[in-house]
Chain A
Amino acid sequence: MNLGANGGAGLFSVASKVANASSFDPVTGLQNVGLGLDALGVSASDPDLWNTLWFHNEGGFAGVDNLLITAVPEPAPIALLTGGIVAMGMVIFKRRR
């Protein structure tokens, strides 16, 4: 899930693999689908509010294992801007010396 894509509405893709397969295969029809997020929302449509991992089973035998969730921040524009300003400052300082 890329939460910041699609103008802030987010995109997700699904991949799956059967047991003992070496790699995940993209699920046709579930690639780059809009998440419908609302960064200014007051419900779970705002991912800033997501704080719970959950699962539900019904109807019979079901097993869940090896849950993994990772979150990687996108490079922040402010960090890029700050780095650029610092670098330009260094260049100007060097020239004046």
Chain B
Amino acid sequence: MTGLTTTIARKSGYHINLMGLCSAAVILFWAIIALIAPMITPYPVGEIVDWDYFGPSSSAFWLGSDYLGRDVFSRILMGARFTVGISLVAVTLACFIGVTLGMIAAVIGGVFDQVLSRFLDAFNSIPSKLFGLVVVAAVGSSIPVLILTLTAIYAPGSYRFARALAVNINTMDFVTVARARGEGAIYLIWEEILPNILGPVLADFGLRFVFIVLLLSGLSFLGLGVLPPNADWGALVKENISGLPFAAPAVIYPSIAIASLTISVNMMIDNLPKKIRDREN
């Protein structure tokens, strides 16, 4: 295995970690599943196919059957669409909004920065689960509403992070040189600041994705997220919770699916490929 990592290292100039590779593989796996799920489920997702409910893992039903007798494996595969899909859309929106506003605030400064920062700081006063709860209680939980709510909860954090990074870069001499040259704000943001914060911003993207997956699962678990007949992984745990005293696979495997995704993303962020900086070359 070390042979593989050192070869990649030498060829690409990046120092790659075994852990990082494995996590990337898991993430890729779920991404592909999310895309092709309807084509590969062994049983139709909503149909009762087993006489026994909470059946154990068997050759017919790889991950057992759920509280109604439906195939857990198929439902997990379809659940990937919702968990991964909703979270991905939400995190992309949140980070796009947050990073853009953060950079603009850092470069322009002044009143715009002050007002925006105070306004977004107010979002900090409400714990995320609570916010989700209240919004769902008010507006219901259709998928667009879920996505917007998740975006609203996590965009301020992304803004604060990106703004802090951008402010840091803004004080560096090369930005001052560009300013002294007469460059405008758009050039500064696009050419000077963005390339230098891309790394940490992507790591934050990954972290935020994990937060969103966890929050979404939590909301679904409370019955406030993805509603029947659809089910994301959190909802799967909720509907099968009565099987817990019997250690039914139907309760455990959806959780494992969530854990595999979130742990992999965290692992990958910790083990991002590091560029080799060898001065002797």
Whether A and B are associated in the same complex: the answer reads: no
